[in-house]
Amino acid sequence: MSQLPQLCIHTITTKPWSLDQCLLNYEKVGVKGISIWRNALENQDLSTVNRRVKSAGLETVSLVRGGFFTGNTKEERQRAIDENKKVIEEAAQIGAPLVVLVCGATPGLSIKENLKQIQEGIEVVVPFAASHQVKLGIEPLHPMYADKRSAVSSLRVANQLALAINSRQVGVTIDVFHVWWEDDLDEQIKICAKNNKLFSYHICDWKLDMSDMLNDRGLMGDGIINVREITKSVEETGFRGYHEVEIFSNQYWKMDQNEFLNLIVTRYKQTYHLN
Ligand code: ZN
């Protein structure tokens, strides 16, 4: 079996599998990291997850996801804060050092108002996250999601937000799918790292014939993102974290998941010219 020390897979990538199937099969092909989505934790005894991950020879990289801090009413925003505290507790329980944040956007509110509410929401949960020793990664999303998923639509804005919050607990999660188009990407990656905010790194691809805004992400090599080049920029800053494969795809979820996993490994090796 080849050694792939930086390869991490998100459980959502192989959504048809249970957490135990993910653990068993990832380990078999040399995956070292796992980012766990909350849906994979349903009906699980959280107190045993940490031990199960470790005994499968894997490391938990993050819990996905928290966020969605915006709302039309105070009550809505309070519910979001309560929910984020729950996510942080779950992360602490399963030994995940990081919660990835999809920050939220409420249709009808201005981008500025959404961003203000996001900042306030994160600031409220920071002490709770700190006391649980869980970090928070602001993941900027592609602007096509600015309507209802996230008003944080570029790495530049994520960097500004993380700086404004000014807590060691809060940084940025970079996902090639969301930021590949940014003309100042290299510069923003450098700024992110210089601020000690580069917390985690997601990879996949952008298909030219994308049929669904959410569930038709490509596997590396399916589309037009130069994942290797972006990774080079990320690693030139000194980042040595995982390359996390995170793909939502109706097409790939229909495949035999073992075949899909083998394909992920093949494409991963091709992407980074590994043997
Ligand atoms: Zn991502």
Residue 137's SS3 state is strand
Which tens digit of pLDDT belongs to each residue from 85-119?
999 999 999 999 999 999 999 999 999 999 999 99
> What is the pLDDT at residue 111?
98
**Angle, helices 111-131/155-165, rounded to nearest 10 degrees:** 50
Tell me, in angstroms, the distance from the centre of ligand 1 to residue 141's CA.
Answer: 8
Tell me, in angstroms, the distance from the centre of ligand 1 to residue 202's CA.
Answer: 5
Which tens digit of pLDDT belongs to each residue from 201-216?
999 999 999 999 999 9
DSSP element (H, E) containing 133: none
Residues around ion ligand 1, judged by CB within 5 A, are: 175, 202, 246
Tell me, in angstroms, the distance from the centre of ligand 1 to residue 79's CA.
Answer: 24
Residues 22-38, mean pLDDT to the nearest whole number: 97
> What is the pLDDT at residue 2?
64
Average pLDDT, the chain: 97
Residues 123-138, mean pLDDT to the nearest whole number: 98
User: 160: buried, middle or exposed (CB in 10 Å: 19+, 13-18, 0-12)?
Assistant: middle
Which tens digit of pLDDT belongs to each residue from 148-196?
999 999 999 999 999 999 999 999 999 999 999 999 999 999 999 999 9
Tell me, in angstroms, the distance from the centre of ligand 1 to residue 82's CA.
Answer: 23
Tell me, in angstroms, the distance from the centre of ligand 1 to residue 28's CA.
Answer: 24
Which tens digit of pLDDT belongs to each residue from 236-254?
999 999 999 999 999 999 9
Peptide bond into 38 cis (omega under 30): no
Tell me, in angstroms, the distance from the centre of ligand 1 to residue 149's CA.
Answer: 13
Tell me, in angstroms, the distance from the centre of ligand 1 to residue 175's CA.
Answer: 5
**Angle, helices 227-236/257-272, rounded to nearest 10 degrees:** 60
**Angle, helices 74-94/46-55, rounded to nearest 10 degrees:** 40
Q: How confident is the model at residue 51 (pLDDT cuts 50, 70, 90)?
A: very high
Distances (CA, A) of 84 to 44, 113, 168, 235: 19, 20, 18, 30
> What is the pLDDT at residue 22?
98
Secondary structure of 47-82 in HEC code, one letter for each residue:
HHHHHHHHHCCCEEEEEEEEECCCCCCHHHHHHHHH
Tell me, in angstroms, the distance from the centre of ligand 1 to residue 132's CA.
Answer: 23
Tell me, in angstroms, the distance from the centre of ligand 1 to residue 45's CA.
Answer: 26
Tell me, in angstroms, the distance from the centre of ligand 1 to residue 15's CA.
Answer: 15
Token duo for residue 55: 């005994």
Residues 207-228, mean pLDDT to the nearest whole number: 98
User: Are the CB atoms for 242 and 8 separated by under 8 Å?
Assistant: yes
Whether 1 shows a pLDDT value over 70: the answer reads: no
214-253: b (≥16 Cβ within 10 Å) or e: eebbbbbebbebebeebbebbbeeebebbbbbbbbbebbb
Whether 64 shows a pLDDT value over 90: the answer reads: yes
Tell me, in angstroms, the distance from the centre of ligand 1 to residue 246's CA.
Answer: 6
Whether 3 shows a pLDDT value over 80: the answer reads: no
User: Could you give all domains of the chain from N- to C-terminal order, each with its CATH number?
Assistant: 7-271 (3.20.20.150)
Beta-carbon contacts of residue 221 (< 8 Å; ≥ 6 apart):
205, 267, 270, 271
> What is the pLDDT at residue 275?
78
